[in-house]
């Protein structure tokens, strides 16, 4: 049992380290905000989550303690990362006023209306709301 527990913990640490390295490299080297956004939200989240799960497994196997704190941190990380990515992407769209012709066409709704792309409507942004 000790060998299997050590193998699981070591595997999770190595996987987490690789994801963390790739995510950090992508954050530093990708050219623009929208491409750079994927590195911390995908790879680095999996890296940190894997390290936290490895720590939980270590304490569960060797100390017979279940770490609720690390579980809560992992859950919060996996919930908060996509929300943060969405907010950053929308802020980037609004700040840079992306040409709607460059964005993919949205799917029409059941009512027959075609919504704006991800609730981004450049025409509404140009109107003065006072």
Domain parsing of the chain, residue ranges: 2-104+114-126
Span 79-127, pLDDT tens digits? 888 888 888 888 787 777 656 666 666 666 666 665 555 555 555 555 5
| Secondary structure percentages of the chain, helix, strand, coil, to 5 | 70, 0, 25
pTM: 0.68
CB 10 within 8 A of CB 2: no
Span 19-49, pLDDT tens digits? 999 988 888 888 887 888 888 788 888 999 9
Span 41-85, pLDDT tens digits? 888 889 999 999 999 999 999 888 998 999 999 999 888 888 888
């Amino acid at each position: 049992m000790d060998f299997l527990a050590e193998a699981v913990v070591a595997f999770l640490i190595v996987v987490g380290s690789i994801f963390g390295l790739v995510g950090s490299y992508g954050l530093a080297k990708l050219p623009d905000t929208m491409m750079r956004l994927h590195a911390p939200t995908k790879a680095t989240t999996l890296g940190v989550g894997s390290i936290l799960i490895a720590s939980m497994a270590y304490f569960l196997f060797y100390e017979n303690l279940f770490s609720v704190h690390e579980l809560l941190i992992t859950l919060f990380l996996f919930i908060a990362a996509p929300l943060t990515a969405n907010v950053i992407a929308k802020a980037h769209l609004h700040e840079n006023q992306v040409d709607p012709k460059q964005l993919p066409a949205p799917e029409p709704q059941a009512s027959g209306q075609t919504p704006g792309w991800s609730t981004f409507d450049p025409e509404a942004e140009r109107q003065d709301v006072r």
